[in-house]
């Protein structure tokens, strides 16, 4: 049910986001927000579950419709049986904006680090993979934007990641 609600909110952003979004080559945006990953947490029985995290990132418009968008996502730790688990990802995505709508498609690379800690013991693993998805950069003012994004990241068993946040343009 949570997934349906989140996807519905994102769809509303997309449907109402077809307003003029003047952007130009060389524009820079920085932003932050919340992230939900479908496999970013660990349940009491050790199985994967939804995980909540924070996302920070930037964007540089290479052309009026193509940008490079690096980001870092940290999912809050979850615990089971005295072991703390955490997940983080470094992403570098290319975005293609469909005209002045603010709607974009994305493709990129992801490096995901999974970490387990218990007492003085710590273990981690890192995997690389691909991202594919879509989003919207909805203008709230000349320099302030609401951002919503859904993407599928392939590292590990793969997961759907939903981001919602605010971006500021320079």
pLDDT tens by residue, 136-162: 999 999 899 999 999 999 998 899 999
Q: Which of 162, 148, 108 is nearest to 15 (CA)?
A: 148
How many Å apart are CA 31 and CA 147, to the nearest integer?
A: 9
Q: pTM to 2 decimals? A: 0.82
**CATH code reported for the domain at 2-169:** 2.40.160.20
**φ, ψ dihedrals at 7, nearest 5°:** -65, -35
Q: At CB < 8 A and 24+ separation, what contacts does 78-82 make? A: 78/41, 78/42, 78/43, 78/49, 78/51, 79/42, 80/42, 80/43, 80/44, 80/45, 80/46, 81/46, 82/118, 82/119
DSSP label at residue 65: S
| 8 Å CB contact between 39 and 89 | no
Return per-residue pLDDT of the chain as tens, 170 residues: 555 554 444 444 444 443 445 678 888 999 999 999 999 888 888 888 999 999 999 999 999 999 999 999 999 999 888 899 999 999 999 999 998 889 999 999 999 999 999 988 999 999 999 999 999 999 999 899 999 999 999 998 899 999 999 999 98
DSSP label at residue 82: T
């Amino acid at each position: 049910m949570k997934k349906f609600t989140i996807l519905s909110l994102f769809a509303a952003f997309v449907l109402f986001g077809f307003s003029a979004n003047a952007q130009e080559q060389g524009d820079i945006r920085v932003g932050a927000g919340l992230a939900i990953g479908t496999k970013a947490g660990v349940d009491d029985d050790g199985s994967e579950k939804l995980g909540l995290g924070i996302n920070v990132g930037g964007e540089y418009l290479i052309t009026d419709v193509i940008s490079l968008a690096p980001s870092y996502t940290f999912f809050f730790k979850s615990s089971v049986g005295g072991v703390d688990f955490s997940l983080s990802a470094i992403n570098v995505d290319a975005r293609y904006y469909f005209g002045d709508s603010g709607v974009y498609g994305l493709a990129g690379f992801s490096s995901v680090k999974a970490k387990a800690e218990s007492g003085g013991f710590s273990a981690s693993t890192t995997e690389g993979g691909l991202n594919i998805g879509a989003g919207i950069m909805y203008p709230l003012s000349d320099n302030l934007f609401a951002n919503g994004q859904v993407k599928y990241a392939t590292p590990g068993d793969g997961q759907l990641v939903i981001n919602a946040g605010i971006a500021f343009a320079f």
